[in-house]
Structure 1
Amino acid sequence: MNVKQSVIAMSCAVLLAGCQSVSATGTRTLATFSVDNTQCYDRKAQSSYFAVDSHHHFQPFRGDAVPFDKLVTWAERVGVVFINVYGIGQTYERKPDCFGERGCYSQLISPSIQNDFKNASNYLKYGADNVHITLSMTFADLHKPETILPKMALLEDEFGDLFRWMGEVNLVKAAHFGNGHQAVDKETIAKWQPFMAVLEEKRIPLALHADLGDNNTPLKYLPLLEEVLKRYPENDIIWMHMGISKELSQIDPELHINTMERLFSQYKNLKADLSWRILYDYYFSDPKIQGQYVEFINAHAERFLPGSDFVASKSKRFFDYLEEVDINSRILASLDDNAFRRIALGQNYFSLLDLPYRAPEICIITSP
């Protein structure tokens, strides 16, 4: 290990208890996931971090972002070689005739296509030779479904078929109730049919932020998610954060798991992502609770995707991203080999998007 790597590793150890050495995580390449690769993946010797960051916001809620090429480099350094690039669809509104950043934003949020244009333009400008990029449409205003297809057509006219994902878009996000956001009602969900039909035809998944409830009423918003799943059974739906939020920090894990068990049983089109550190902070960090979730995830390994939910505000640094990757990967180390291969090594992601990649098989280590 050279001096630079030693400094990185020491900084990592100071920043995060148990964080992996960056030099150890950065050995994965796209070739590792080639369909022709015959080498197995040694979990004892190789990284337990996810290789696919399926939930990465390259744009912040307001202000400037970390440069695109720098974010790609950060991913390479921690061994992330597939990124699902989100903008943020609901951004804070700028005050008219106000210049700069300080004091120029109101507290209201509104959907905007600007971040999708920024991400696609940056991708075309900088590329990503060593990392596979998927671009996601984050502009969709689910309250105004009639606006979605025209904007999808606008992106297609400008960028061809670069956008292969839609989300993260808000069905219900209590954290933004004070910023002008409201839950989408069932009557409006019924009006999604035109754009959902196009997503189905093009095999574009829809990633929904759909709070399950709050601490007073843990399943308060569940009927809204189920309305989507019932009406659009042929669309791939990705449920962000398994429905957990800061407003739902105290749900009984048994109730949460049983609810998800029922949803997975009833709705074959439902998948969930394991992104956002609140899952670790509120639930997975408790060994007893983590064991319950590990058993559940192992049993439904084909239904989960990994991610950081990193928001690339200009003030962020490499170790901020490393921390989010580390925290959001910790539960992955406890999964069985099948679940680890499907989730951490990306087989679920490749299958969902029909990508020409394959997660390596896990090495079978026999005792001498």
Structure 2
Amino acid sequence: MNVCRLLFRSAVPATLAMAFSGAAVGLTLEDYTNPSPACFNRATQPHLTVADTHIHFRPFGGESVSYHDMLKLMADNGVVFGGVMGIGQRLPWDARPGCDSYQDCRDLPANPTIKNDFVNAANFAEFKSPGRQLVFSMTFPDLARPAEIPALIALYDKEYPGLFKLMGEANVVKQALFPNGHVPVTTAQIDQWADFMKILRERNIPLALHSDLGNDTGEPTKYRLLLEHVLRTYPDNKIIWLHLGMSSQQVAMDPLNHILLLQGMLDRFPNLYLDISWGVLEQNYFSKYRQGYVDFINRNSSRIITGSDYVAYKNKQPAYNYADELKTSSAMNAYLNNDAFRNIALGQTYLTLLGMNATYNAPQICPSR
């Protein structure tokens, strides 16, 4: 059999039909804290992600889904842990009606700001998150202006000491925002990150980066060297590469080359982690080349996290539907082996990465009979 066909043949678990049918049998925070003989039964419980590490509680512009509604959406879909991001860019406050997303108004800049993070933090300070464990991320950094970042971290420390456990999503290069004024960070600017990277390193705060690998116009690895420069320059910082480097501008990369590239980077950079959030991955890569990615994820599950990448646009519902986006981004979970399922869908890798495993640990998987 051809090697590529063998690598990418489909593997359909017998329980897949059950995985997304019926009401969720929900886990609770107690399942992550109490020593118990109970285990997670993959044959009867849903394969939806329980640790959604990548949720944008705030949009680029326009009205947001309310904080209370976001908590309800998480609860209704069995999500116990939420990685709360604002969005690091915000359209002008006086943008014309209908400018909710950067895609709606390509003539307007989408500039980095602290606004969304502070709204998220203020909501949490007032209302908390009963039954959910939220992890807040600083999404403000303008990585092209690194000198400003330490002072803004100090502002966060003053207003919300100890609340923010992660930094990002921050953009090294995001081609989707090019029409709105974003340009890739340069290697010279990366060299100037030392001060804020030292702060993150000392606090064990991972940095989650949106760094497009390339595009489908003949340049599949055009921007690879930017992320590699980050990893070589700051080898002791924990870096999360979001969306496996893919984007809407790159939906047709050769999957074998993609997997080999990812494996090589994990092998060379021990503090690199990968994020497999966003439906774009399922739609354009995982669903078409299932077994190759399953094998890769199973092999590296202690370095991989996942999430919906949902953006809380109130004015774009129901197209931006949390349940649908969580289901799409969770589809890969059904094919993973038990270790990978626990690490990724149930969140053990995320808890360990953030040092939360002193308090929370994912349930073990029930042995198959």
TM-score by length of 1: 0.90
- 2:44 matched to which residue of 1? 45
- 1:321 matched to which residue of 2? 322
Secondary structure at the counterpart of residue 208 of structure 2: strand
Does the 8 Å CA contact 1:22/1:77 hold for their aligned counterparts?
no
1:77 partner letter: D
- 1:306 matched to which residue of 2? 306
Does the 8 Å CA contact 2:62/2:99 hold for their aligned counterparts?
no
* 1:354 CA drift (Å): 1.2
- 2:7 matched to which residue of 1? none
| Structure 2 Cα separation of the partners of residues 231 and 348 of structure 1 | 24
Q: What is the Cα-based RMSD across aligned positions, in Å?
A: 1.8
- 2:10 matched to which residue of 1? none
Task: Confirm or deny that 1:235 pairs with 2:237.
Answer: yes
Q: Which runs of 5+ in 1 are unaligned?
A: 1-16
Secondary structure at the counterpart of residue 37 of structure 2: coil
- 1:155 matched to which residue of 2? 156
Secondary structure at the counterpart of residue 48 of structure 1: coil
Matches within 5 A, 1:61-210: 61-95=60-94, 101-102=97-98, 107-210=108-211
Does the 8 Å CA contact 1:35/1:358 hold for their aligned counterparts?
no
* 1:93 CA drift (Å): 2.4
- 1:59 matched to which residue of 2? 58
| Structure 1 Cα separation of the partners of residues 134 and 330 of structure 2 | 20
TM-score by length of 2: 0.90
Q: 1:88 to 1:220 in 2, by over 3 A?
A: same
Q: 1:319 to 1:71 in 2, by over 3 A?
A: same
User: Which of 244, 252, 274 is 1:250 aligned to?
Assistant: 252
Q: 1:101 to 1:337 in 2, by over 3 A?
A: same
Does the 8 Å CA contact 1:31/1:37 hold for their aligned counterparts?
no
- 2:351 matched to which residue of 1? 350
| Structure 2 Cα separation of the partners of residues 155 and 143 of structure 1 | 20
* 1:28 CA drift (Å): 1.2
| Structure 2 Cα separation of the partners of residues 124 and 188 of structure 1 | 35
1:48 partner letter: H
Report the count of equivalent residues. 344
Does the 8 Å CA contact 1:49/1:330 hold for their aligned counterparts?
yes
1:70 partner letter: D
- 1:363 matched to which residue of 2? 366
Does the 8 Å CA contact 1:138/1:167 hold for their aligned counterparts?
yes
* 1:94 CA drift (Å): 3.6
Does the 8 Å CA contact 2:301/2:344 hold for their aligned counterparts?
yes
| Structure 2 Cα separation of the partners of residues 175 and 36 of structure 1 | 45
Secondary structure at the counterpart of residue 169 of structure 1: strand
- 1:4 matched to which residue of 2? none
| Structure 1 Cα separation of the partners of residues 20 and 291 of structure 2 | 22
Does the 8 Å CA contact 2:19/2:334 hold for their aligned counterparts?
no
| Structure 1 Cα separation of the partners of residues 156 and 327 of structure 2 | 34
| Structure 2 Cα separation of the partners of residues 283 and 361 of structure 1 | 29
| Structure 2 Cα separation of the partners of residues 178 and 67 of structure 1 | 29
Q: Which runs of 5+ in 2 are unaligned?
A: 1-16
1:312 partner letter: A
Q: Percent identity, aligned pairs only?
A: 40
Residues 149-178 of structure 1 show CA distances to partners (whole Å, capped at 9, x for unaligned) of 111111110111101110001000011111
Residues 258-291 of structure 1 show CA distances to partners (whole Å, capped at 9, x for unaligned) of 00010000000101111110001111122xx111
Secondary structure at the counterpart of residue 109 of structure 2: strand
Matches within 5 A, 1:277-316: 277-286=279-288, 289-315=289-315, 316=317
Secondary structure at the counterpart of residue 29 of structure 1: coil
Does the 8 Å CA contact 2:18/2:43 hold for their aligned counterparts?
no
* 1:32 CA drift (Å): 1.4
